[in-house]
Amino acid sequence: MVGKILIVDDVATNRIVFKVKLGAACYRPLMAADGASCLRLAREERPDLVLLDLMLPDMPGIEVLRALRADPVTADVPVVVISATGAPAQRIEAFEAGADDFLIKPIDDSLLLARLRNLMRAHESLAELGARGATLQALGLAERGTPFVPLGRVALVTDRPEIAILWRKDLQGVLPDHLMTLTRAEALAAGTDEPSAPADVFVIDADSAGTGSGLQMMSELRSRQPTRHAAVMLVQTAHNPDQMAVAFDMGASDVVEQGISPVEMGLRLKALIRRKRRGDALRASVQDGLRLAVIDPLTGLYNRRYALPRLAAIADRADAVQGAFAVMVIDIDRFKLVNDQYGHAAGDAVLVEVAQRVTENLRASDLVARIGGEEFLVALPSAALAQARATAERLCRAIAAQPFLLPDGSNIPVTISIGLAVCDNAADCPGEPVAGLVERADRALMDSKADGRNKVTVSGSAAA
């Protein structure tokens, strides 16, 4: 889909120039000559970004920006303010109103396009995560995050002590978040030695180790798992549009010049922290949803959706090394009577305890999953018949050894029946489909049930 950019400027010549530049870059330009048209088009067309001039005939551009941010439909759309002047008070007002950046005319073409690409990529990534999270929430597989938001962590990265002192002094009065100063070596070490990123935002002295050193530093942080999602602000010694454009295309969250107003820098950092925290929350929501999609919520075991592909991978591994593996299908004996006589809460307690005892008597590499109401699947990688039979019999003993405690304080005896199927690729079943192996184990389970329960039956082909 072609990105849509809404150009808002009261001067027709400016709109046309932007339209030509953006059209040549394969964007779809939309144009508005006043604030009212901007707000209407923003709601109707849902642009991917808004280029907003501050001088409009019907209302100040700042008011338009505030209206965009107040409208749930357009609240998250990136907005780049453009102006012929860049007075500090004007810039601060724009960032307070929710601007993502503030560019002064005339704007270097490469810098403009790089910044637009940068903001649209970030917006698209968050929107994609949000859509996944919304889908999982609709399916009941993810919970909404809590409203509590802790203070952010900002790492000031420079090898020049005087710059570190200056930054800390400037930001302490305008940023309530935690500030830490790190050398480049310390920042990189934190990206490998710590389990999580030491900062939400890294503010990097772009030229402290030579031209381009900030880009290299950013690339290192982006390549490491703990710091991959941290925001990065590069601080340049002097205005360099070409280097800024490269930085944005390489993934910098923001690029500013040394000497920027502390208030503006604080506002920019607050915006980066908010964006980073939102991304963290969305990623956590998606991960939780994916986890819940493959986990049985009652027992904490994997479910059928996860177990069957995992079993297929175990089978592929055994086939590749000409090894053996085993599959058990386990059923709780007379489980319906537990529910009928003691209630479903008692039945749930029995399921949880069975899951715990089975897990405790298996290896860490073994797979155990709940695949039905009272039915469980166990896979034993690298297990031949003798070992698999011994494990299955141990599971029967573990369940029957002690009565189960119910929520009302009473105790009841519980037993399980097991059907066991073994595949030895060097002997009896090279290339046997996983579904066939599970079916063999299921038939063996039926034999255990018919033969008195609380026992292990090995499928005929595996026992032969």
How many other C-beta atoms are found inside a 10 Å radius of the C-beta of residue 148?
5
Phi then psi dihedrals of residue 47, to 5 deg: -65, 160
45 an active-site residue? Answer: no
Asked if 353 and 447 touch (Cβ cutoff 8 Å), the reply is: no
Q: How far apart (Å, rounded) are the C-alpha atoms in residues 73 and 137?
A: 20
DSSP string covering 39-66, please?
Answer: HHHHHHH--SEEEEES--SSS-HHHHHH
Asked if 188 and 218 touch (Cβ cutoff 8 Å), the reply is: no
Asked if 398 and 454 touch (Cβ cutoff 8 Å), the reply is: no
Decide the pairing of beta strands 375-381 and 324-332: antiparallel
Coil, helix or strand for 5? Answer: strand
| Pairs from 297-303 (Cβ < 8 Å, separation ≥ 24) | 298/348, 298/351, 298/352, 298/370, 299/351, 299/352, 299/355, 299/370, 300/355, 301/355, 301/359, 301/368, 301/369, 301/370, 301/376, 302/367, 302/368, 302/369, 302/370, 303/369, 303/370, 303/371
Q: How far apart (Å, rounded) are the C-alpha atoms in residues 10 and 215?
A: 37
Half-sphere exposure of 30 (CA within 13 A, CB side): 22
Q: How far apart (Å, rounded) are the C-alpha atoms in residues 450 and 321?
A: 36
Asked if 103 and 81 touch (Cβ cutoff 8 Å), the reply is: yes
Of 435, 150, 411, 368, residue with least CA distance to 280: 150
Asked if 426 and 462 touch (Cβ cutoff 8 Å), the reply is: no
Of 221, 148, 282, residue with least CA distance to 290: 282
Element (H, E) at 387: helix 385-400
Element (H, E) at 361: none
Q: How far apart (Å, rounded) are the C-alpha atoms in residues 5 and 50?
A: 6
Task: Spot the catalytic one: 44, 194, 257, 374.
Answer: 374
Q: How far apart (Å, rounded) are the C-alpha atoms in residues 372 and 296?
A: 10
- Catalytic residue positions? 374
